[in-house]
Structure 1
């Protein structure tokens, strides 16, 4: 199932309108859509390594804009989003996110932005819990930017030889990065 989808994505990555698709996917993923922009960002960086940084910037800006949509949904219209949260089986993740926001605030947005955890859950929870907007935006820019620039940079640097390895280990790398980031945050906060 994923092989043909991946092949289609690689073909689409070279299209002249691919940056628009990447921006749209990034906005949608941060608010309601389940597929992360990395699936388009990586092949685009592979197809045009000299433009990898601009693709990462598009994904970052789009993701933060989508995060603001998710934030607004949580802040103004949580009652409309709650059935979707339940239907998508994100209810437990959402409740956990709300608890974390009450305790950690800014740091949760930063880690969620970088991690493979569904970011949309955290954007909606941030709005629902009333996380301050400016710290939310800053943490989103830092977390999402770090993630997308890392993905684009690694793919552009490693090229085709890195792609199979990255696809095999993307989940593990994501979780290792989250653990390292969490340890860094704990060290800064309590060290």
Structure 2
């Protein structure tokens, strides 16, 4: 895996493009790590690295989705660790939107969520919208930090950024959950009234 990462790093933008695309389909190491390595080497190009990674990830998202849709559980069991699969399945059962948002923000390989979305017949359009939001924040947060602070941003990214983004993702997920419950309340209350009458 280190050899593959080193090989991709040698190709700069193209290496990151391939990695970010594969991160949404089959590759076990998140593109976040290659983005950080390249941004550390070339901080003045960090925004461009973020843009390349973001576009590639969005292009790979429907491919991972179709892979999950066509091959389903056989792919999940072959490519994903049992612990990662169990966590992702539990998240999807409770709240698919929140699961994708959290996955888009965190270092968990994004393929877990694209393949699961297809296997569990989640809406492709919703997947794309939440992936676009979450991945934009993640890629550009790293890019902007390196562009502004240069190599000094490495410590910020590793020490604070991941936890910060996870916190934001959890808050957004809670917001989605609360909104859904508020929307569902008027539907359930009249039914209870009918049952009592």
Alpha-carbon deviation of 1:125? 0.8
Larger-gyration structure (1/2)? 2
> Cα 1:134–1:157, aligned 2, differ >3 Å: closer, same or farther?
same
| Contact kept in structure 2, 1:94 and 1:122, CA below 8 Å | no
* Aligned-residue CA RMSD (Å): 2.8
Alpha-carbon deviation of 1:26? 0.5
Residues 26-52 of structure 1: CA distance to partner in whole angstroms, max 9, x if unpaired?
A: 111222212111222123334434432
> Cα 1:102–1:12, aligned 2, differ >3 Å: closer, same or farther?
closer
2-side partners of 1:43 and 1:118: how far apart? 17
Aligned match of 1:24 in 18, 26, 46? 18
SS of structure 2 residue aligned to 1:31:
coil
Structure 2 residue aligned with 1:146 = 137
Aligned match of 2:36 in 42, 67, 75? 42
Structure 2 residues without counterparts, runs of 5 or longer: 183-197
> Cα 1:106–1:55, aligned 2, differ >3 Å: closer, same or farther?
same
Corresponding pairs, count: 179
> Cα 1:39–1:96, aligned 2, differ >3 Å: closer, same or farther?
closer
Structure 2 residue aligned with 1:112 = 103
2-side partners of 1:146 and 1:95: how far apart? 26
2-side partners of 1:186 and 1:39: how far apart? 31
Aligned match of 2:89 in 98, 116, 123? 98
Structure 1 residues without counterparts, runs of 5 or longer: none
> Cα 1:167–1:115, aligned 2, differ >3 Å: closer, same or farther?
closer
Aligned match of 2:56 in 62, 74, 81? 62
Alpha-carbon deviation of 1:187? 5.3
> Cα 1:170–1:146, aligned 2, differ >3 Å: closer, same or farther?
closer
Alpha-carbon deviation of 1:19? 0.4
> Cα 1:79–1:105, aligned 2, differ >3 Å: closer, same or farther?
closer
Alpha-carbon deviation of 1:59? 0.8
Q: Which moved more, 1:162-171 or 1:71-80?
A: 162-171
Aligned match of 1:51 in 34, 45, 48? 45
Q: TM-score, normalised by structure 2?
A: 0.75
| Contact kept in structure 2, 1:116 and 1:175, CA below 8 Å | no
| Contact kept in structure 1, 2:46 and 2:143, CA below 8 Å | yes
Q: TM-score, normalised by structure 1?
A: 0.77
